[in-house]
Structure 1
Amino acid sequence: MKNRKNILLAIGLLLIGLIAGWIIKPSNNHKTESSDDQNIGSSEHQEIWTCSMHPQIRQNEPGSCPICGMDLIPLEITGDGGDPGLYQMSENAMKLANVQTMVVGRGDASREMRLNGKVQVDERASYSQSTHIPGRIEQLAINFTGEKVSRGQNLATVYSPELVTAQEELLQAAAIRSSQPELFEAAKTKLRNWKIGDAQIEQILSGGKAIQRFSIRADVNGIVTEKMVDLGDYVERGMPIYEISDLSKVWVLFDLYEGQLAWVKEGSKVEFTINSFPGETFEGKISFVDPLLDSQTRVSTARVEVDNKDGRLKPGMFASGVVKNTMSAGQTQELIIPKSAVLWTGKRSIVYVKTDVDGRAGFRLREITLGPSLGDSYVVQEGLEPGEEIVSNGAFTVDAAVQLSGGTSMMNPDGGKQSTGHDHGQTQQDQTGQIKVEVSKNVNNDLNKLVDDYLRLKDALVKDNYSQARQHAQAFEKSIGTVDGFNPEAKIVWESYEKELKADAVIISGAAKIESMRERFDELSTTMIGMVKTFQLTNKELYVLHCPMADSNKGADWLSASSEVKNPYYGSAMLTCGELKETIQ
């Protein structure tokens, strides 16, 4: 305050001197002196301090963001002949804001696709073993899935009354076959239709009596993957009794989402791993891409055929694959920029292009047309040329500064000063830079409920009670979603708090131990203190307490309904470590 008074006194004396000089010797020179003095004053207040996450915060001196507690960054604004589309920053401001640039160039537009899938039975090698004899299952030779069977192996024994009757008809026809050979041949044909071979027919004729039970034999080699009957079941002719699959070859079916279909083609090479064989990599080619998309899951499949003679791969195993693909045709290369350089407005994609103006960095908004996504980068179809320099990191910070200066920005394509939250009737900013927002009674009650949940969480940490802390953190997270009813101006401010509160609550409620909860509790407390002050929650007296040893001796604050120090960062280990820092009334 003393320094500020001295500066004001000096400026006052200077103005008095200028006025006296003008009175004593009026001339055209006084205009130049006055103009120079104004330029000096303008340059002194040229630097604006703002928050990279909350650009509506503007202060003339450094400090912390009243919303999230982050250190404010300087953004130096200078004119450029009245060009609203160009914004200049000094090198110092760029470094502090971590603004980085890159020169745009061409490269191979390749993308690495990560796919998840499962090992499945080759449908072409799957056989449904059916019975050719109707009757009752009297014996099962294969009693469980997974058994290996060979072609011709006995699978089950069936008693068939119909087959017994047919055999008796054969024996009766055999007795008169000399006079009625056609009847005898018809009886044998009837048995052959049930897959009774000539050897068995001769056995029936030589024995002179009907065979009571017949065997069902395997038609193929493979593994029984499904058993469909039980002992005593009655089966009809042609009914499936086992599913037999040859697992010497299997399929690995990978899920393909709609956005991945353009990058995965038949013939694409795949490297994949199986969870059951860590450290081992398999290779294959995509032999088929399903032309149909599941209407519910919106997923298609890509098939890789794999030799499995050793039987290591089992149907149902999970697989993780990587497909490397390129969209560049021949020698053609694409213009590629990182995703961090692009800002989205919903309909438009924009970047900031850097130009040098009088030795300073100037940034101009440029709308571009994007092509396919390459994971962490994009292909640019229109709007940029090779060799141009763009902001690759910190584009949002640059855009926030442009908005503050009234230039052409992402949300203000026509330029001109944009109103910020503290400029409205119900949203103000006090002399310390703290935003003050008026809300309705219902919103105030919802926010105070959030404070109550926070205080319960704090008390559980004080008591070293992990289970209660987790329960209250979950209740706190749920309460965040119930806060509603803001006016449009206040909602902008609330959304900033809401995002950070949710992130902190999710981490705390999901922490595996109480130490991890305490590590995040300091960030949650900083946000809550800012929220209480911003929305002027004065239903009860609250206290801001400070522990100098928390956060690796950096110090951390917390809210409390009592001025008595009970430390949530250390609990019973250092329960009274801390001091009263502020009272919120």
Structure 2
Amino acid sequence: MKANIAMKTIVLVLAGAGLAIGGYWVGSQGHGSIQPAAASGSASGKSGEKIDSKTGRKVLYWHDPMVPGQKFDKPGKSPFMDMELVPVFADEGGTEGGVKVNPTLQQNLGIRYATVRREETRDAFELVGTTQFDESVAEVVQSRVTGYIEQLHARAPMQRIKRGDPVATLFVPEWIAPQEEYLALKRSGNDVLASDARDRMRALSIPDSLVAQAEKTGKAQRNLTLTSPVTGVVTELAVRDGAMVSPGMTVAKVAALNKVWLLAEIPEQQANLVRPGMQVEATFAGGTDRKYSGKVREILPGVSTTTRTVQARLELDNRDGSLTPGMLMRVQVGAEKAVPRLLVPTEAVITSGKQSVVLLAGENNTIQPVAVTTGRDIGDDTEILSGLTEGQKVVASGQFLIDSEAKLKAVLPKFSSPEQEHTQGTNHSSTEAGPGVYRATGKIEKIAPGALTLSHGPIPELKWPAMTMDFSKPKSDAFAEAKVGQDVEFSFKEGDDGSYMLQDVKPVGGGKK
């Protein structure tokens, strides 16, 4: 009986051991995840928060500084290096990719912040067009009689002219005889016949001003001066000196410049968004600081088969006469209704081509890159569709120093706090050898053809604790005098492949151990 009980006990123990070993094997194979052995140094706070037992600070996660991409939710021994995992604290801005910038450095670098705000803005899009004369206010200078151009005052097209300025002087032979008859009857005192002669002159289109001049001088007036009805530009000039003109013939055409047309090209997809009466603002390359206001006059029928655009005729205010036909202008058309949008200054958005990023300011002087989805540009601002909320602060200047962690590696020591800088000084670690070069002291544990294995103390610039690791040699025969067990001072820098290359190795104090 006792033998049976002992046999059952042995079987149960072996089965439990088998299950334990099988569970361990399954767990070690699951998804390739590595969990360090639990160690002292952590405690759970409210709502499962991780608290460091030594400092009492909130911990986001633990990691190996040599493999920062792998995160652990418990402290312990690193599975990659002979070292303890390092906690990343919440008050250090420990989110991956973030940095902490002390206020003094912020002021020295000129880092400026802007607040994410929500504003009512109108949908707007830009068009391109060229200016033209406003044909609706163009005037023509015509002759009502048969005559000859005795003198042409407007000598060429596109000549500027003012209202009342002479355009051409005509010699009208048919007007001489009626005027002489009228003057003779006037001198004879026969008022009835003189009045009839005056009516005949009006029928011949002889102006009253010309008749008055004949009465004043007592001589028939042989010339008629045609003047400009508006201030503008002579767009057409159909005659030359000595040419014969007939009734109804156009001598010149004058276009006013107080308003100009702008013929804009609208993409076919946006044609339905533009309607007559919408307000516009236009600028041209010769004066981008000057804006011209106007409105959409009409949408011309038809779509261009080559550009797939619809033409819109815009009317711009040009009372100062600074616009002339043929100017290429950019036009911004605004929608009638305003829509609330989340906006940040355009200079705060860093665009890499694949994504857009802003640098978000957090607590305790931390700065964190955040990927955002951008909408349209509205003036000096950019619409944010996702990634930010109203009231947050973003970096508006100085991003070139903090736009990515890769670019920060050469200047990370500058971003440390004053306490860290003091600690660095006491640990013989500095970047005096050049940007991105670090110095430390350690002990040679192993010598290989391509590397030295060194056990060294903490390196605050890289947030490394004391550990043992391999450093590559620049050449296989470099540091020939180095010996195992020797205490040395060494400098190194990170290579492009992520390895760490030794720059210099010399015994501590200049002696050998």
TM tier relative to shorter chain = 0.3 to 0.5
Larger radius of gyration: 2
User: More strand per residue: 1 or 2?
Assistant: 2
TM-score by length of 1: 0.35
User: More helix per residue: 1 or 2?
Assistant: 1
